[in-house]
Amino acid sequence: MANVVVVGAQWGDEGKGKIVDWLSERADVIARFQGGHNAGHTLVIDGKVYKLSLLPSGIVRGGKLSVIGNGVVLDPWHLVMEIAKLRGQGVEISPENLMIAENAPLILPIHGELDRAREGQTAVAKIGTTGRGIGPAYEDKVGRRAIRVADLADEATLVTRVDRLMGHHDALRRGLGIEPIDKEALLQALRDIAPQVLPYAKPVWKVMTDARRAGKRILFEGAQGALLDIDFGTYPFVTSSNVIAGQAATGVGLGPTAIDFVLGIVKAYTTRVGEGPFPAELMDADGERLGERGHEFGTVTGRKRRCGWFDAVLVRQTCATSGVSGIALTKLDVLDGFKTLKICIGYDLDGVRLDYLPTAANQQARCTPIYEEMDGWSENTAGARSWSELPGAAIKYVRRIEELIQCPVALLSTSPEREDTILVTDPFAD
């Protein structure tokens, strides 16, 4: 059976939640492989809205196994809160349909405190994080001082881990003017939350291996977008993990041969939340119109998203670094009514034309877009479920995007409703 990785191919907020939900109907296992509760997925099912930030999108569908892999940093308090919220909406959640990797590192209250203190220091240091402790938790993971899910089951190990954490964090906290860690309070908080988390803890690598051997269809779900990847994003204005498709296998404990199809989620225009370069950003009425029509506010933060025309240069680049097999083009309906559309096809850097975004931050900031103009359409594309329902100009726009990014469209989304989707290539096809 085919196994599919879903990744955002821009700066996140591309509509992954709907697409993952749409695909999850054909999957047996849905696995989150990176990020934390800074992800924001909004699902609309039969008019009912579910907002997820940590749990895999498949959790709202019965008969599916949802998995949080070792590549995710887990805030246990947020996990418990999100589970309770979804149960309040009638979603059944138990250790039978939700499993968490025993080796997933935890996000602690001290991580959020450090994150927010750093962001509040100076304008120069500001990255634009959500302030939820994602970055500091990943720092502790690679610094070999993280507390992991399995540690919650052993008091002696927990005490040792907290002592090691304090040796590092208290020095940082002094420099930032934060009070030292209250060891006993932290330990007690972990003891209290442990019984609510440990029932879900499993050797996820084994669960996933067994599922694959049994011929189960696996859907790997990423958070954020490839342009926020720690290696290939617009560094340092990035997230603290690898977002691209190669992380999917590592983030759940499988090998790269487990991946059969990579679906890149792409908006029909471009948005970004927070700081960092954005060559095709619009600071005019068109940008405002895109934001208003697309309801461009962050699911997690509520922050207004920056908007711009479709940037084919960036998407072509992310399709290459993630090995994208096909894209799911979302929010085409937001472009309804624009008389003229523009697509960024290259950059001008000090008089030199580039067909990629350079790595150096100062060069990224100096890149200006080179646009190609296309006719827009006045017809309504919202809710279209076949090519025949789309105006000719819209089809021409989609086909031109395919040419420019050198990757075919596999799915086309025309509204937040899951059924308003045009299937071109089934990613799960054997």
State the Cα–Cα distance between residues 285 and 305, nearest whole angstrom.
15
The span from the CA of 408 to the CA of 325, in Å, is 8
Tell me which of 26-30, 128-132, 213-217 is least confident. 128-132
pLDDT at 41 over 90: no
| Mean pLDDT score, 378-397 | 95
What are the backbone angles phi and psi of residue 325, rounded to the nearest 5°? -85, -35
Is residue 392 pLDDT above 80, yes or no? Answer: yes
Average pLDDT in the 90-108 region? 97
Q: Between 281 and 303, whose confidence is greater?
A: 281
List, for residues 298-342, the tens digit of each pLDDT value: 655 667 899 999 999 999 999 999 999 999 999 999 999 999 999
User: Does residue 34 carry a pLDDT above 70?
Assistant: yes
Please tell me which residue in 37, 41, 111, 169 is annotated as part of the active site.
Answer: 41
Return the ∠ at Cα 86 (arms to 39 and 330), rounded to 5°: 45
Q: Let me know the angle formed at the C-alpha of 195 by 82 and 79, rounded to the nearest 5 degrees.
A: 15
What is residue 90's predicted lDDT score, i.e. its pLDDT? Answer: 93
41 annotated active-site: yes
Work out the average pLDDT over 60-67. 92
Q: Is 13 labeled as catalytic in the residue annotation?
A: yes
- For residue 47, the model assigns a pLDDT of 76
Q: Kindly provide the residue ranges of all beta strands, DSSP E only, lying in 108-212, ordered along the sequence.
A: 201-202
* Spatial distance between the Cα atoms of 180 and 244, rounded to a whole number of angstroms: 37
CA distance 58 to 53: 12
Copy the structure tokens of residue 159: 């005490």
User: What pLDDT does residue 301 have?
Assistant: 62
- What residue has token string 């940037």? 311
Structure confidence at residue 120 (pLDDT): 76
Per DSSP bridges, beta strands 352-354 and 340-349 are antiparallel
Q: Residue 419's pLDDT is what?
A: 82
Out of 13, 115, 140, 151, the active site residue is 13
By DSSP bridging, strand 261-267 and strand 326-330 are parallel
Residue 418 has pLDDT above 90, yes or no: no
Task: Please give the residue that has the higher pLDDT: either 26 or 353.
Answer: 353
Q: CA-to-CA distance for 143 and 206, rounded, in angstroms?
A: 26
Helices (H), 177-324: 183-197, 204-213, 246-250, 285-293, 312-322
Q: What is the mean pLDDT of residues 191-218?
A: 97
* Tokens coding 229: 């990847």
Decide which of 38 and 104 is more confident. Answer: 104
Q: Is the pLDDT of residue 248 over 70?
A: yes
Give me the amino acid identity at 178. Answer: I
| DSSP H stretches of helix in 243-284 | 246-250
Question: Could you tell me the pTM of the whole model?
Answer: 0.92
Q: Would you state the structure tokens that stand for residue 69, as one six-digit string?
A: 């892999």
